Structure 1
Amino acid sequence: MTSPAEPASGRTRTPIDRIGVTVLKDLVEAIVTREFAPGEALPPEGELSLQFGVSRTVIRETMKRLQEKGMVTVAQGRGTHVTPATTWNVLDPLVLSTMIGNDSTLGVLDELSVVRASLEAAMAAAAADTADADARADLREHLEAMVERTEDSAAFREADVRFHLAIMRLSQNGLAENIARVLITHAVGSDRFTGQDPSHAFELTIAEHESIVEAIAAGDPEAARIAMSAHILGSWERRRLPSARRSND
């Protein structure tokens, strides 16, 4: 007798969790791209079940996950409605990566860079207050690792991220570090974030990192704050894709 958990062909069914992930990704993208605009009701459970070819249980679970991400509200008898982007949990990995992946005007990455610059500037200032001789030596090693990798763009960018993470750890601000890590992790894999490096981009980046290290080594929080903010915002402006420039540029 065939087990109820397997179709007659003997092939194992895809687990509900895996099916649900696919449905969830599709609906998150539909909301981010405004296929379903804020205030609009999602199709009824039965209709979504037929559309995706899944059970109502999967749809119900997907609605719960969308609600947890702040993307919908579910009201008994009134259906499920899309919420404004201001209510979304933008630090949720799926929400953030979907927003970045569909950021054709680079507005999301513009805002991400501003937030990241503010957070990391504060952490650099804190690092300037706490860095001892060992910490300063560690930062110089991270900087040297970048210098050694200027001929390999992927390795250079990895060393660049490690440099920033080292400063975050020195700041001893766990909340800011957690948020900044999420922003970096889900941005660096995007071609839009990587953009288009101008001539001597790596040399410019190294020079800016040197200024940050010098300020931290000197125990000058304000100089470290200014150097980090200028680096993050300046680096983003340098590599921002020309085809996606803001209308007021």
Structure 2
Amino acid sequence: MLLAIDVGNTNAKFALFQGAEMLARWRIATDDRRTADEYAVWLDQLLRIEGYERSDVDAVIISTVVPRALHNLQLLSVKYFGVDALVAGRAPVTWGIALKVDEPQSVGADRAVNAISAQAAAPGTDKLVISFGTATTLDHIDPDGAYMGGIIAPGVNLSLEALVAAAAKLPRIAIEAPTTNSVIGRTTESQMLIGVYWGYVSMMEGLIGRMKAEIGKPLTVIATGGLATLFQEQAHLFDRIEPDLTLNGLMHLYAQRGSAA
């Protein structure tokens, strides 16, 4: 079985695969100080809850945008699973897709893996992948699977945290979809929620529209990331929501290991 690990700035996601089938998945807060031993205790318990043992894992693949977290995850793989972890973007799991941008070395591992996953999900079409994480990213993938570039914007939580941090009297609120479509709030909390939620909907409408106009061809719009489901009621924005796009991309990358970049 394959253990796929995707480390983002906010959360690290783990998934167990048998071939192309995802058997289980787990999430933990990203902490680059977490040791291999701590990961092992946590994972050992979760594997057993799902009916598996550490010995069932015979391959590990890691994608990370937090470089300092990599060493302990590699140590986890060797010490507790008895295998050398494969690292996304490094031989023998080089991307296998073209990165048609000015600085291909600066493309985040998560965005390249998402491109691979999007191509597997919708081959032969232009894709727009929107990832709602610490940052909100929009990425164009062409019909051949090449990464063509995109947009980086502050994430939903990041925007709210900055607002609360900079304004002393504003309270912390939970991110959720407003209960009405009204954009006139009657309380401070409702006004903040409207600003964040409908502000992001408007931003998505504007950026998606601009990208569609610039690309000039039909796009399959795929949403992913931890906060993608927050906008699931806005059906006009996306063609589909794929919460596990990155983890599935790691599975595809493992399956095609050895392909040329």
- TM band (smaller chain): under 0.3
| Bigger share in strand | 2
The alignment's TM-score, normalised by the length of structure 1, stands at: 0.27
| Bigger share in helix | 1
Larger radius of gyration: 1
